Structure 1
Amino acid sequence: MAAETDNVITIHNFASKMSTFDPNSTGKQLYGLVDMGSNGIRFSISDLSEPRSRLLDCMYKERAGISLYDALHESAPDSKAFHFSQKTITQVAKTLSRFKRICDSHGVAGKNISVFATEAMRTAENRDEMLDAIHKESGLVVDILSPEMESLFGAMGARSGFNQVDGLFMDLGGGSVQMTYVDSSTGAGYDVLAAQAAKSLPFGAAKLTAALSTRSTAAEAKVELQGRMKQTFEGMKSQFPKLKEQIEKDGGVSIYFCGGGFRGYGSMLMHTETIQPYPIPAIGGYSVSGDRFVKWKQMLKANDYDGKIYGMSKRRREQFPAIVEVVHALVEAVPKIKQVTFCSGGNREGVLYMKLPTKMRESNPLPMLPGVTYGAIADDATIASVVERLSLALPGSQPSVFSPELLDHIARNIWVHTGDSDDANSARSLHHPISGSLAGLPGLTHQIQAVLALTMCARWGADLGPVDRPLQNNLKELIGAELSFWCEFIGTIARAMAIVIPDFPREGLSSGPDRDAVLFKSDVAHGLGKKGHKSGIKLQIAVAKQSQEGIDLGKLEDMFSKVGKGLHLGWTVEAEVV
C-alpha cells in the first residue's frame, strides 16, 4: 500500500483548503467539486453567492459510473491487485478533463475547483500514476482525504441540511463506512471534535459485497464487522458522555445517514411504507423511527421484488445484502435507536459547508428558502409584521414545527401568483415543496415539506383536481391528522388575510394603511359544532370598515368551516366576523 503523501488532507492542514470563500464578494462565487468515490465519480458546480450561501445552491450535477473499487480488483489476465489499469487511468483522466471544460464554460475560477478522493485512492498502489495522468490531462490536482477528513466532510455535508443536530453521523460508501458523533449545540469547534473522534471501518458496500460472495470469507467478514462496529460505538460513548446518557437514560440516540449505501437502505424503507405511493420522492430529510429501521430482515426480503424500486439502481440492488449486513451490525452495536434520518448531503456538500464562515454555517436555512421577491418593499421589517399577524392568529397551542422561520417563508409567499386561478395555485403550491425549486434544499425534512405543501395549498382553498387529491391525502397521512389540521387552519388564515389585503402590504402591518385592515383573535374552545360535541378553535376576525367594501363577510366565515373536515379528529373552527 502506498505511503501517505502530501496529497492526503489531514485535520492539521484542511483549514488552508477552505480559504477561498469571500463572504464580502459582490460577484458570483461558483465552486466546482469532484468526489472520486469507490462506487462512482460525482461532479457538481455550486453557487455560494450571498444572500443564499447557506443553501449551497447546486447549478450542475453529474455522475460518472466508474467504480474505482472494481478497477482495483479487476480479474483480467494482465490486472494487478490494488493497481489501476492504464485503461482506467486514461478513462478517469479524460472524464475529469471533461468536467474541467464544463467548469470553464460556467465561469468557475480555477482556484475554486476541488477534486478529492477517498478509500479506493487511499489503497491504490499506483495512485501517483493516476494523479499525474489527471493533472496532465486536465490541470487538476487531486486531494486524497484521510479517513478522519472523509468523516468530517461526510458528517458536515449531512449536517448542512438541518438547523441543529445531535446524534451519530454515518456514511456508507463503496470502500468504507464512517462513524462519528456531532452535537452542534456545543459551540465552536464541534466539527473538528467530530473529525478527531471519527472512525473509518473497511466495510464499504462494494468491498463487503466481494467478501460475502465466497463462503470462505463471508462468515469471517460478518463477525469482524459486528465486532468492530460494536467497538467503535463503545469508543464513541466513552468520548461523548451525552451520547452515553442518551442510550442509558433518554429515549435513545438519533442517527443521520449519508452515502449511497445508506441511502439505498432508506429507499427500501420508503418502498415498503404503508403510505403508497410515498408522496415525497427525494430521500433527503426522510426519517423513520428506530423500531422500523431495525427491521433489516424485512428490507432484505423486499429486495427480492422483481420490479423497479425507486432510488435503487441495479448495482445498489446487488450490493443490498452487504448494506443490510452493515445495518445489522449497527443494530447489534447500538441498543437504543430513537430515530434515523437520511441525508442528501455528502462529501461535496461538506466541503462547501466548511468553506462558509462559522456564523453563516450555523444559521437556520429556512428563512433563506427561495420565494417571491418584492424588491425593496420586501424588507425584513415588512415580512416580520406579516409573521406577527400570523402568529397573533394562532391560539398558542400549535405544533412547534410552525417556527418563526417557517412562518417567515409562508409570509413571503401569501401574495404570490395572485393573478392566476385558485385551482392552478392550489396544485402548484402542493407540488412546489416536494418536486419544485424547494425540493432537496437544506432545512426541509419530509415533515416540513409536507407541512409547507398542505399549508400553502390551503391558502388557495385546496381547490384540487382528481389527479392531485391522492397526493394531498398521502401527505396528510404522512404527517398525521393533528398536524394536517393546523396546516389547514394557518393556510386559511393566510387566505383570509389575502382577501382583505389583496396586495402585498408595502408598508407592513405594523403601520401604514393596512395596519388595522384585518385582525385575528383565537382561543382553544370546547362545545363547538351544531351539537356542541366538538373541540377546536373559536376565531374572531375583525375587518376594518374601509376594508369591507366588496367583500362577502359571510363567505369569509364559511372558509373556516372546512378546516378539519375529513380528518376525523372531532375538531372544528368557528369563525365570526366582528
Structure 2
Amino acid sequence: MLPTSNGIRFSISDLSPPLARIVPTLYQDRAGISLYDVQYQPGSDTRQSIPADIQHQVISRLLRFKETCADFSVPSTNIHVLATEATRTAPNSVQFRNEVKTATGWEIRMLSKEDEGRIGALGIASSLSNVQGLVMDLGGGSTQITWLLAKDGSVKTNPKGSISFPYGAAALTRRLEEAKVKGDAGIGELQNEMTARFRGAYEELAVPNELSSLADQNGGYDLYLSGGGFRGWGYLLMSRSKVYPYPIPTINGFKAERSDFQDTVTVLSSVDPKIFRVSERRAAQVPAVAFLINVLTAALPMIKNIHFCQGGVREGFLFDNLTSEIRVQDPLVVATTPYQTASAETISQLLSHALPSSSSNLLPPASFTPQLLRSFANLIYEHSSVPKDARPAAALHTATTGLLASAHGISHTDRALISLMLCARWPGDLPPSEESLLLRLRQIVSMREAWWCRYLGRVAALTGEFYPAGVIRDIPRFEFRAEFVAGNEEKEKKKGVGEVMELTVVIPPKVDARTYVDKEVLKEGMRKVEKVGKKKNWIKASERVDRSERLGGDWGLKVKVVLERGVELEFRSWAYIAI
C-alpha cells in the first residue's frame, strides 16, 4: 500500500517463482485521496495538517484492504505500508501515522527523499528488460532525478541516491498559479530557478563514463519517466500518435521521440478530459507538466528517446527484494513460460535455424533476439484449441489485451512483434474488424521487422504441422537451414531480384512411425512460407505513416523453400523430451 500525494494505492502481488520477474498483480485498487492537495485550503498559501475527516477516510480504506488481504490469505509479515513525500512532510505526520497504527495495527514505513528516489528508480528498472539512461519520477509534491544502468540482472545507480525537487505535478501547479500573478516576470523567475537547479543536479549526479559514452554513440541520452504526471503526458502523446488509434492501451513500454515529447504547444491544444486515461484532475495538471518538460529539455543535455514506465515505488519496493538471478530474467520469456510445451526450448532453436546468419544487410533486425524467439516458441500452440476461424484474431490480441496484457516489463515493440508473429502463425483470413489492429501494430515496428514477423509466423505454422503437440520425441522429423542465394532465374533477373532467402527443409533419409511426415501437408506448409516472398505479400509502403519509409518502397524478400533428404540431422546439441 502507498499513501502518496496523488492517491492511496492498494495492491497484492505474487512473487513466487517462476513469475516473480514480472511482478504479477493479483489485486489492485486506488483511493482518490490526494494527501498533498488536502494540506492546502483554497486561497491559503500555508500548509495545513491532514484533516481529521481525511484521516478517517484513509483509515477506512486501509481497514477494507486489511480484509482483502485476509481474503487472499496474505501473511501479515508480507504486508507493507509505505509513505512518501505528502505524508513525510505533513505538519501532523506523526499523529496521522499513530492513528493508522492504532486502527489497523500496521506501522507506516516512511521513505526518506533518498530512499523514495532509489526505490522509484528500481521501479523503472523493473519496467523494461534493459534501462540505460537518466530516470525521473514525478509525484504530486516532488520529482526525483538520477541515472540508472540496469542490465543483465545488475542495477547501478547514483550511490548518493536521487536528487529531489519540490516540483511535483500538484506542487508545481500551485507555484505556476502564484507566478502568473506576477505576470511574465514571475513565470520567468520560476523558469530560471528550475533551470538552474536541474543543471546543477545533472552535474551533481556525476553520470558515469559508461553511460555518457553510450549517449555519445546513440546521439543522446534515453530518458525514462515514471509517476502519474508523466504517465498522463504519455497518454496525451499516445492520443496524438501518427498510429491512430494507438493499438496498445498500457503506458509501460511506450516510447516517444524528443521532438514529440517537447512539443508542448501542440499537446496543450489537444487536452481533453475524455482522452483515454487522462482524468479531469490530471488534465488540470497538464500545464504544469508541460512547463516542467520545457525546463527539462532546455536544462538537461541532449535527450534522444523518452520511455514511459508504469513502475514506481510499489514495483521498486518489490523489485528490490528479488535476487539478481530473478532480475536477470527476460520479462517476455518469463511471462510466456506458463504456456510453453515440453519441447519449447528445442522448437525455439529450430526457429532460429530458419533465420539466415550470413553477412547480408537483409538479415532480420537486432530486435529478433533469442529471447524473443523463445517467447514466440512458448506461445505458438496456445491458440490451438480456439476455433479455426478465430485463431488469427485471438493470436493478434495476445500481447495487447490478451494473455500478456498484465505482464510487466515488456516494451511496445516486443508486444507488437510477438502479436504479429502469432497472427501469422495461424494462416487464414482475419476478420474485417481486426484488419485495422493488424495494420496499426505493423506501424509500431519497421517494415523490415513486420515482414520478418510474417515469415517467422509461417515457419512456425509449418513447424506446427510437423509437431502438432509441440513435443519433439527422441528422433527429430526435420530441421531447417537458411541462407541467402543469388537470384538466378530469368524471371527473377527481369524483376531486378538480387538475393533470395532460401529455406531448406531437411528430412531424415529413412522414415518410420516416429518420423513420418505427410507429403501433401508438407508441400502445403512449404507453399505458405513461399507466399510470404511474393511481392503482393510484401509490407506495403503506401500503408505506412512514416514518410521516410514510404519513400523507400515496399519491403520484402523473395523466398524459396526446398526439400532435402539428409544423411543425418544435426540435432546432437539439442535437448529432447523422450516420451
TM-score grouping bracket, smaller chain normalisation: 0.7 to 0.9
2:170: which partner in 1? Answer: 206
* Preserved contact between residue 151 and residue 195 of structure 1 (Cα < 8 Å): no
1:571: which partner in 2? Answer: 557
Structure 2 SS opposite 1:156: helix
Q: Go from structure 1 to structure 2 and tell me whether the alpha carbon gap of 1:59 and 1:279 turns closer, same or farther (over 3 Å shift).
A: same
* Preserved contact between residue 383 and residue 412 of structure 1 (Cα < 8 Å): yes
1:7: which partner in 2? Answer: none
* Preserved contact between residue 366 and residue 443 of structure 1 (Cα < 8 Å): yes
CA shift digits 1:76-122 (9 cap, x unpaired): 99x97331111111111111111111111111111111111111112
Amino acid aligned to 2:429: D
Which moves more between the two structures, 340-349 or 220-229? 220-229
- 2-side partners of 1:67 and 1:318: how far apart? 14
Q: Go from structure 1 to structure 2 and tell me whether the alpha carbon gap of 1:296 and 1:128 turns closer, same or farther (over 3 Å shift).
A: same
- 2-side partners of 1:92 and 1:401: how far apart? 46
Q: Go from structure 1 to structure 2 and tell me whether the alpha carbon gap of 1:95 and 1:182 turns closer, same or farther (over 3 Å shift).
A: same
* Preserved contact between residue 422 and residue 463 of structure 1 (Cα < 8 Å): no
Candidates 252, 265, 285, aligned match of 2:220: 252
Structure 1 SS opposite 2:397: helix
Establish whether residue 292 from structure 1 lines up as the match of residue 252 from structure 2. Answer: no
Establish whether residue 386 from structure 1 lines up as the match of residue 347 from structure 2. Answer: yes
Q: Go from structure 1 to structure 2 and tell me whether the alpha carbon gap of 1:49 and 1:437 turns closer, same or farther (over 3 Å shift).
A: same
Superposed displacement of residue 354, structure 1: 0.6
Amino acid aligned to 1:519: E
Candidates 47, 59, 67, aligned match of 2:14: 47
* Preserved contact between residue 287 and residue 339 of structure 1 (Cα < 8 Å): yes
Superposed displacement of residue 299, structure 1: 1.7
Superposed displacement of residue 372, structure 1: 5.0
CA shift digits 1:404-425 (9 cap, x unpaired): 2221122222223324333322
* Preserved contact between residue 300 and residue 321 of structure 1 (Cα < 8 Å): yes
Establish whether residue 228 from structure 1 lines up as the match of residue 197 from structure 2. Answer: yes
- 2-side partners of 1:249 and 1:452: how far apart? 29
Amino acid aligned to 1:572: K
In structure 1, stretches of 5+ residues that fail to align are 1-33
1:25: which partner in 2? Answer: none
1:135: which partner in 2? Answer: 101
Q: Go from structure 1 to structure 2 and tell me whether the alpha carbon gap of 1:299 and 1:360 turns closer, same or farther (over 3 Å shift).
A: same
Superposed displacement of residue 440, structure 1: 4.4
* Preserved contact between residue 172 and residue 259 of structure 1 (Cα < 8 Å): yes
* Preserved contact between residue 284 and residue 344 of structure 1 (Cα < 8 Å): yes
User: Aligned-residue CA RMSD in angstroms?
Assistant: 2.3
Residues paired across the two proteins, number: 528
Structure 2 SS opposite 1:96: helix
Amino acid aligned to 1:404: P
- 1-side partners of 2:467 and 2:172: how far apart? 62
1:17: which partner in 2? Answer: none
1:179: which partner in 2? Answer: 145
Establish whether residue 445 from structure 1 lines up as the match of residue 397 from structure 2. Answer: no
* Preserved contact between residue 354 and residue 480 of structure 2 (Cα < 8 Å): yes
Amino acid aligned to 2:347: V
Superposed displacement of residue 526, structure 1: 4.5
Superposed displacement of residue 460, structure 1: 0.5
- 1-side partners of 2:61 and 2:482: how far apart? 61
Establish whether residue 146 from structure 1 lines up as the match of residue 112 from structure 2. Answer: yes
- 2-side partners of 1:178 and 1:352: how far apart? 19
Superposed displacement of residue 248, structure 1: 5.5
- 2-side partners of 1:53 and 1:203: how far apart? 33
* Preserved contact between residue 344 and residue 440 of structure 1 (Cα < 8 Å): no
* Preserved contact between residue 134 and residue 222 of structure 2 (Cα < 8 Å): yes
Structure 2 SS opposite 1:467: helix
| TM-score of the two chains, using structure 2 as the length reference | 0.86
1:283: which partner in 2? Answer: 251
Q: Go from structure 1 to structure 2 and tell me whether the alpha carbon gap of 1:526 and 1:477 turns closer, same or farther (over 3 Å shift).
A: farther
Superposed displacement of residue 307, structure 1: 6.4
1:20: which partner in 2? Answer: none
Candidates 177, 181, 202, aligned match of 1:216: 181
Amino acid aligned to 1:387: S
Structure 2 SS opposite 1:283: coil
Superposed displacement of residue 40, structure 1: 0.9
Amino acid aligned to 1:164: N
| TM-score of the two chains, using structure 1 as the length reference | 0.86
Amino acid aligned to 1:569: W
* Preserved contact between residue 538 and residue 573 of structure 1 (Cα < 8 Å): yes
Establish whether residue 473 from structure 1 lines up as the match of residue 409 from structure 2. Answer: no
Candidates 36, 40, 45, aligned match of 1:73: 40
In structure 2, stretches of 5+ residues that fail to align are 358-362, 540-553, 565-579
* Preserved contact between residue 461 and residue 525 of structure 2 (Cα < 8 Å): no
- 1-side partners of 2:51 and 2:113: how far apart? 25
